[in-house]
Structure 1
């Protein structure tokens, strides 16, 4: 009986834990006036932040996406070239050592596009 109670408790905790995640969405800005005739003209990635993890997803697959994440002072915290798709790409960004949340920016470069956004890290 006790084992069933513990299993039920673990099941409830496992199902409820994602509700309390601190997940925020990052809004990317880009230039709508440009006419993009090559590459992925309608593929705009979505970026979400969950504490130390930044997840980038897109409805179609984007190759050679240059990802740059900077802190509030412009220092590069992360720079890589990624393949972004529907499954998403997760990048680990550690919090600063003081425990303070900084205003962090993200920039994505692909197919002659430059997208940028900011979120509180």
Structure 2
């Protein structure tokens, strides 16, 4: 089973990763990639460089350029895990969060990814 862990952070905190955190993260990423537990991971650029595209019920599209001031927490990064259970994916998510140590206020949303024919009710084409 695959799981998506979306890391949420407060961009206004002005906090960035230290060199030590980046080194520790690199070691964990290498370990989990070699074991086959980590499919993909990346940090995301600031929301000020992003945009939000919305499809409204009337079929119209609207676009809002970042930053998204109405949102305190934004998705700052993600990881896709290959895990036999939700509990194992939870453990992997905890390992990523614990690397940050104290002084951080982070949250992760962990959700299973549906594959073809596994309950996905819509597709993007």
TM-score (norm 2): 0.29
Structure having the higher Rg: 1
Structure showing the higher helix proportion among its residues: 2
* Greater RCO, CA 8 A, separation 6+: 2
Which one has a larger percent strand, Structure 1 or Structure 2?
1
